[in-house]
């Protein structure tokens, strides 16, 4: 390890992280040194993400330069015109993001690769849009999205505008590994500009993205937008300017931004955890909504690729919608408004099955993928045809993509679409709650929940135990179908077996006789088991929604309790 540390100190271009590392050496902090040098931040399908600091297991200038070198070398090796097509680079408002982005540009231009670089902070979906707009070979966003302040990340898009999937992730990782043992070339950005290798993306590019969304037929439903009032927060991220502009373009005149959270600030001073799903993260925007009596309290996460919303109730309070509820509402709305032939929708294996039922009722085409937006958009591109163009996809973790202007989740287009849906309902004297109840009454009330079980380090694989002794029933409900994504088989209770057309993954899905579903997915990075539950409660004509919700909640509690007991027993 001493050799590795000495080599690192010799290569690290940043005096700040060199000093940080030297202090750990001088104070003999062996545990911290071991943690930072025990491995390297793994480059995967989401790129890189980790805590900022010194060492190969942290985000810093040397790791960024090595990563960018590996990315550039992989692009040049696999795409014959990569240098000419170039790479689009953007960054969020975290303290190191701009410098990391400029490092990336210096490395890529030194390899002769053209770079399109945003002049200032940019929403992540805007970079994904830029890749397609410029016909670039790839895109990079320096962002840690909704992670805590100590983190940063390096997210990579391929030339199709979607997040990278195999084999590109492992191919880039191999090149990064080689780069850690090479001299790293850099080109001064002013020189890169003079040599025609660097193009600064100024306000006109931001306006191009804005114009593209405004021109989308799916975001052109201008039904009495002035009747809906919206409280909004960018959560100290990069979304406010574009979100406010798009809402104004769409005719929404009553928009109230949370001033204390409007400007980019990577220290996130008013939230413990800048993720709209976390308790307390929406408190300030809900307070803003109450102050104005707003219809909606909306949020983007700090890089504006996710969207969250709380809706005013009859009592005047605000209740958060789940990602599944927003996904189903948007899916239903878009399917009933899209032009003929634009009818391909999808979601992930752990999201609600309700979108499938809504699609079936609209005679639309539905697809399902592994978790992660990288799968949703790449599969959508493969599945769509002239007769069935892509319309919408979502995942339960607050990610939505509306149409194909952006081939990744986009919290800004989702914000506009949801506001337009709300306005149209209001013009009919209806609320979001009325619409949700209408969908539930037609298709059943689908309730979803997730629980994680901590396992002892080194504990036997739960997945393998379940495969060795497949459960015949769960919580008194018979297992009708077991989907084993590791073996790519769908096994029916009568013994019939069918192939599953999904990439292999250590996931087991149990479909029960009452329509319930249990998904078991071991974590790949820590001793933890993730369990996803779904129960379905039909609502009779004379039934009240409240009674159905209570039955569903009781059924969910029973399912979770008995299933977890069976795993831990």
DSSP for 262-315, written as a single string: SS--TT-TT-SS--TTSTTTTHHHHHHHHHHT-SEEEEE-TTS-BEEEEEE-TT
Provide the pairing of β-strand 477-484 with 473-474. Answer: antiparallel
- How far apart CA 120 and CA 160 sit, in angstroms, is 24
- What's the distance, Cα to Cα, between the start and end of the chain in Å? 42
CA atoms within 13 A on the CB side of 225: 20
Comparing CA positions, the residue from 99, 88, 10, 7 lying closest to residue 52 is: 99
- Residue 301 near residue 398 (C-beta atoms within 8 A): yes
CA atoms within 13 A on the CB side of 546: 0
* H-helix segments, 343-391: 354-361, 373-383
- How far apart CA 283 and CA 265 sit, in angstroms, is 18
Residues in contact with 405: Cβ distance below 8 Å, sequence separation at least 6, in sequence order: 129, 212, 213, 216, 413
For this structure, is 202 an active site residue? no
Residues in contact with 229: Cβ distance below 8 Å, sequence separation at least 6, in sequence order: 254, 255, 256, 292, 293, 294, 295, 296
- How far apart CA 471 and CA 468 sit, in angstroms, is 10
* H-helix segments, 428-473: 432-443, 462-468
- How far apart CA 61 and CA 315 sit, in angstroms, is 52
Provide the pairing of β-strand 318-320 with 307-312. Answer: antiparallel
- Tokens linked to 431: 């609320």
Comparing CA positions, the residue from 230, 215, 443, 229 lying closest to residue 331 is: 443
Identify the active-site residue in 145, 351, 352, 516.
Answer: 145
Q: What does the DSSP 8-state code read for residue 52?
A: B
C-alpha dist (Å) from residue 469 to 124, 307, 464, 504, 567: 44, 41, 9, 20, 12
Give just the sign of the alpha carbon dihedral 417, 422, 423, 427.
positive
Provide the pairing of β-strand 342-348 with 365-369. Answer: parallel
Comparing CA positions, the residue from 120, 153, 152, 115 lying closest to residue 134 is: 115
Active centre residues (catalytic): 145
């Amino acid at each position: 390890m001493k050799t590795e540390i000495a080599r690192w100190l010799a290569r690290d271009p940043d005096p700040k992280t060199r000093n940080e590392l030297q202090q750990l050496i001088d104070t003999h902090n062996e545990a911290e040194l071991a943690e930072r040098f025990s491995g390297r931040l793994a480059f995967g399908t989401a790129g890189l993400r980790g805590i900022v600091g010194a060492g190969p297991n942290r985000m810093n200038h040397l790791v960024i330069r090595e990563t960018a070198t590996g990315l550039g070398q992989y692009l040049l090796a696999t795409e014959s015109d990569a240098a000419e097509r170039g790479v689009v680079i953007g960054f969020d408002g975290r303290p190191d993001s701009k410098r990391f982005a400029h490092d990336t540009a210096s490395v890529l231009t030194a390899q002769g690769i053209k770079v399109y670089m945003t002049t200032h902070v940019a929403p992540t979906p805007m970079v994904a849009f830029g890749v397609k707009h410029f016909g670039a070979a790839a895109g990079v966003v320096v962002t840690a999205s909704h992670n805590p302040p100590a983190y940063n990340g390096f997210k990579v898009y391929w030339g199709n505008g979607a997040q990278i999937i195999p084999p590109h992730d492992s191919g880039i990782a191999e090149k990064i590994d080689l780069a850690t043992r090479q001299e790293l070339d850099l080109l001064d950005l002013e020189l890169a500009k003079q040599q025609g290798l660097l193009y600064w993306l100024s306000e006109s590019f931001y306006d191009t993205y804005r114009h593209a969304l405004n021109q989308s037929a799916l975001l052109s439903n201008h039904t009495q937008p002035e009747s809906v009032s919206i409280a909004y927060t960018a959560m100290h991220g990069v979304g406010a300017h574009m979100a406010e502009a798009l809402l104004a373009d769409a005719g929404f005149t009553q928009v109230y931004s949370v001033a204390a959270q409007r400007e980019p600030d990577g220290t996130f001073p008013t939230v413990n955890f800048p993720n709209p799903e976390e308790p307390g993260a929406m408190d300030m925007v809900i307070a803003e909504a109450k102050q104005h009596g707003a219809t909606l309290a909306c949020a983007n996460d700090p890089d504006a690729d996710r969207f969250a919303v709380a809706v005013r109730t009859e009592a005047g309070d605000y209740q958060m919608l789940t990602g599944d509820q927003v996904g189903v509402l948007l899916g239903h709305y878009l399917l009933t408004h899209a032009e003929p032939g634009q009818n391909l929708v999808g979601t992930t294996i752990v999201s609600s099955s309700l979108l499938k039922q809504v699609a079936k009722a609209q005679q639309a085409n539905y697809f399902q993928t592994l978790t992660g937006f990288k799968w949703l958009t790449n599969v959508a591109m493969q599945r769509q045809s002239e007769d069935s163009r892509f319309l919408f996809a979502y995942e339960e973790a607050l990610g939505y993509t509306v149409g194909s202007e952006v081939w990744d989740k986009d919290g800004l287009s989702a914000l506009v679409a949801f506001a337009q849906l709300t306005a149209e309902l209001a013009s009919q004297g209806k609320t979001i709650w009325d619409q949700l109840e209408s969908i539930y009454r037609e298709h059943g009330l689908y309730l979803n929940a997730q629980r994680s079980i901590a396992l002892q380090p080194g504990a036997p694989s739960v997945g393998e135990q379940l495969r060795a002794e497949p459960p015949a029933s769960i919580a008194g409900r018979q297992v009708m179908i077991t989907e084993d994504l590791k073996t790519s088989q769908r096994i029916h209770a009568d013994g019939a077996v069918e192939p599953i057309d999904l990439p292999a993954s250590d996931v087991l899905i149990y479909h029960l006789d009452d329509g319930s579903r249990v998904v078991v997915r071991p974590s790949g990075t820590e001793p933890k088991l993730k369990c996803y539950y779904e129960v379905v409660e039909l609502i009779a004509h004379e039934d009240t929604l409240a009674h159905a919700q209570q039955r569903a909640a009781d059924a969910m509690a029973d399912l979770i309790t008995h299933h977890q007991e069976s795993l831990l027993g």
